[in-house]
A = this chain, B = another copy of it.
Amino acid sequence: MKERVRSEVLRKKIMSAEKASRFIQDGMTVGTSGFTPAGYPKAVPLALAKRAKEGERLKINLITGASVGEELDGELAKAGVVERRYPYQTNGDMRNKINSGDVKFSDIHLSHMPRWIKYGFFGNIDVAVIEAVALNEDGSIVPSTSIGCSNALVEKAEKVIIEINTSQPIDLEGIHDVYDIENPPHTKPIPLTKVEEKIGVPYIKCPIEKIAAVVVTDIKDSTRDVAPIDEDSKIMAQHIVDFLVKESKEGRLPEKLLPLQSGVGSVANAILGGLKETKFEDLEIYSEVLQDSVFDLMDAGKIKFASGTSLTISPNRLEDFYKNLHKYRRNIILRPEEISNNPEIIRRLGVIAMNTAIEFDIYGNVNSTNISGSRMMNGIGGSGDFARNAYLSIFMTKSTAKGGDISSIVPFVKHVDHTEHDVHVVVTEQGLADLRGLSPRERVEKIIENCVHPKFKEHLRNYVKSAEKNCKYKHTPHDFNEAFKN
Chain A residues with a Cβ under 8 A of chain B: 84, 86, 98-101, 104-109, 112, 115-116, 119-122, 183-185, 187-191, 193-194, 251-252, 254, 256, 258, 342-344, 347-350, 365, 370, 372-376, 380, 384, 388-389, 391, 414-422, 436-439, 441-442, 471-478, 480-481, 483-484
Contact = CB atoms under 8 A, between A and B. Distances in A.
Contact of A436 (B116, B472, B483): B116
B120 A373 contact: no
26 contacts: A84-B439, A104-B441, A106-B437, A106-B439, A107-B420, A108-B421, A109-B422, A116-B437, A119-B252, A119-B391, A184-B254, A185-B350, A187-B350, A189-B189, A189-B190, A189-B193, A343-B343, A343-B388, A343-B389, A374-B475, A374-B478, A376-B475, A376-B476, A380-B421, A418-B419, A484-B484
B189 A348 contact: yes
Given A421-B107, A421-B380, A473-B374, A121 B184 contact: no
Contacts of A441: 101, 104
Nearest to A470: B374
Chain A contact residues, majority secondary structure: loop
A421 B109 contact: yes
Closest CB pairs A-B (n = 4): A184-B350, A101-B474, A104-B439, A416-B416
Contacts of A84: 437, 439
Contacts of A187: 193, 347-350
Nearest to A102: B474
A419 B417 contact: yes
A45 B105 CA distance: 53
Contacts of A436: 116, 121
Contacts of A478: 373-374, 414
Contacts of A122: 437
Contacts of A388: 109, 343, 384, 388
B185 A258 contact: yes
Nearest to A373: B478
Contacts of A419: 380, 384, 416-419
Identical copies of this chain, number: 2
Given A108-B421, A421-B380, A349 B185 contact: yes
A194 B121 CA distance: 24
A100 B474 contact: yes
Contacts of A389: 343
Contacts of A116: 436-437
Contacts of A194: 185
Nearest to A122: B437
A349 B184 CA distance: 6
Question: Which of A191, A256, A350, A417 lies at the interface centre, i.e. has the most chain B CB atoms within 10 A of its CB?
Answer: A350
A392 B393 CA distance: 25
Given A84-B439, A115-B391, A122-B437, 8 more contacts: A109-B422, A120-B251, A184-B349, A185-B258, A189-B191, A343-B388, A376-B476, A417-B421
